[in-house]
Amino acid sequence: MLVVVFLFATTSVEAARCVYISSYHQGYEWSDGVERGLLRTLDGHCEITTFNMDSKRVKNEALIKRAALDAKKLIDELQPDVVIASDDNASKYLIVPYYKDAEIPFVFCGINWTVEQYGYPFTNVTGMIEVAAIDPMFDKAASISGKIRQAYYIGADTLTESKNLNRFEAAARKNNIKLTGRLVRNMHGWINAYKDAQQADLIILGSNAGTLNWDSEQILENMRPHTRTLTATNHGWMMPYAMFGMTKVPEEQGEWAGKVAIEILKGTKPSDIPIIPNRNFNLIVNNTLLDYAQIKLPEFIKLKAQPYY
């Protein structure tokens, strides 16, 4: 587990102390984006200590619980003015069991889809949930490939991806789309799922985070001979493997959490700040993969989309 202290000159709130608990690890693109947005926003407002639970790479629940206890020890020692916690496992293993309605205020971000399973809001907790643009993705896919009757979802075998798949299944039913889901443990499982998925009208690529033995070059080498079906994703880091993306913006989560933390440092109660979903998405296209599959984009998507390089 990694602990990092960022020393910012405090101006608006003298000698304030913040703790940032990341569910995952440095080097994971989503977490890095959240942290960038958070640190940029809190610069000049508090001294920040960061703790990484590393629960995306660590699969053993006992070790994840140990990481949560280490984070709790850090919080109890520092007694910060506010704690920011990103993604689901920080809530599941740290906030809910140890800090429900406690004196220390918490701001969460990056919790997938709903906070119902955690019982939020607490008197000391508010935050931003993370949602994907599923219906707009289906609409864009239909405008590219025609009516989508069958779709295929491929993701890592993780808690986050299980939640994401459930949401896509519900949206598919609503749109009269038959959806097949595969959550895989390793790279070879992912490649096999990708090959099987070519029979569908649309392939949805969930996150690969937590997929063992992932090798980008080997993945792309195995994809190219089979690529003929439109692929889409909600994750920016999956764009090397997807033809178009309606991707979430991790910096939005960090920036919003930072702004809320500043308001709490000024005296606002967490219970007075509503829990909200993210609002920003990027439309991105991978022209290299589109060319492989000989898929042509409508002009309105070409004009709006950012090219992936």
Evaluate whether residue 194 is within a structural domain. Answer: yes
**Same domain for 138 and 115:** no
**Same domain for 6 and 96:** yes
Distances (CA, A) of 280 to 67, 88, 250, 252, 270: 31, 20, 9, 7, 23
Asked whether 26 and 62 are in contact (CB, 8 A), the reply is no
State which H helix or E strand residue 88 sits in.
helix 88-90
What would the two tokens of residue 246 be?
């309606």
Measured distance CA(60)–CA(50) in Å, rounded:
22
Evaluate whether residue 275 is within a structural domain. Answer: yes
* Per-residue model confidence (pLDDT) at position 15: 73
Measured CA angle at 232 (ends 231, 233), to 5 deg: 135
**Same domain for 140 and 123:** no
* Per-residue model confidence (pLDDT) at position 3: 57
Evaluate whether residue 122 is within a structural domain. Answer: yes
What would the two tokens of residue 154 be?
């491929």
Asked whether 68 and 38 are in contact (CB, 8 A), the reply is no
**Same domain for 262 and 127:** yes
**Same domain for 76 and 34:** yes
**Same domain for 223 and 269:** no
Computed from CA positions of residues 158, 168, 256, 260, in that sequence, does the dihedral angle turn out positive or negative? negative
**CATH code where residue 7 lies:** 3.40.50.2300
Q: Which residues constitute the domain of residue 167?
A: 134-233
**Same domain for 257 and 110:** yes
**Same domain for 15 and 100:** yes
Asked whether 114 and 129 are in contact (CB, 8 A), the reply is yes
From the list 41, 82, 57, the residue with the least C-alpha distance to 2 is 57
* Per-residue model confidence (pLDDT) at position 128: 98
Q: If you search the block for the tokens 């205020």, which residue do you land on?
A: 105
Q: How many Cα atoms sit within 13 Å of 308 on the Cβ side? A: 24
Evaluate whether residue 288 is within a structural domain. Answer: no
Q: If you search the block for the tokens 């890095």, which residue do you land on?
A: 32
* Per-residue model confidence (pLDDT) at position 1: 59
Residues 6 or more apart whose Cβ sits within 8 Å of residue 85:
20, 21, 23, 91, 94, 95, 106, 107, 108, 109
**Same domain for 7 and 124:** yes
Measured distance CA(248)–CA(212) in Å, rounded:
24
At 239, give phi and psi (nearest 5°): -65, -25
Strand partners, 233: 205, 245
**Same domain for 86 and 139:** no
**Same domain for 21 and 9:** yes
pLDDT 10s per residue in the chain (309 long)?
555 555 444 444 457 999 999 999 999 889 999 999 999 999 999 999 999 999 988 889 999 999 999 999 999 999 999 999 999 999 999 999 999 999 999 999 999 999 999 999 999 999 999 999 999 999 999 999 999 999 999 999 998 899 999 999 999 999 999 999 999 999 999 999 999 999 999 999 999 998 999 999 999 999 999 999 999 999 999 999 999 999 999 999 999 999 999 999 999 999 999 999 999 999 999 999 999 999 999 999 989 999 998
Asked whether 246 and 141 are in contact (CB, 8 A), the reply is no
Evaluate whether residue 109 is within a structural domain. Answer: yes
Evaluate whether residue 309 is within a structural domain. Answer: no
* Per-residue model confidence (pLDDT) at position 252: 97
Measured distance CA(163)–CA(184) in Å, rounded:
14
What would the two tokens of residue 277 be?
């979903």
Evaluate whether residue 158 is within a structural domain. Answer: yes
Angle between helices 29-42 and 250-265 (to 10 degrees): 30
Domain total for the chain? 2
Asked whether 282 and 213 are in contact (CB, 8 A), the reply is no
* Per-residue model confidence (pLDDT) at position 159: 85
- Global pTM reads 0.80
From the list 86, 13, 100, the residue with the least C-alpha distance to 56 is 86
Measured distance CA(14)–CA(82) in Å, rounded:
14
Evaluate whether residue 286 is within a structural domain. Answer: no
What would the two tokens of residue 145 be?
């490939």
**Same domain for 190 and 145:** yes
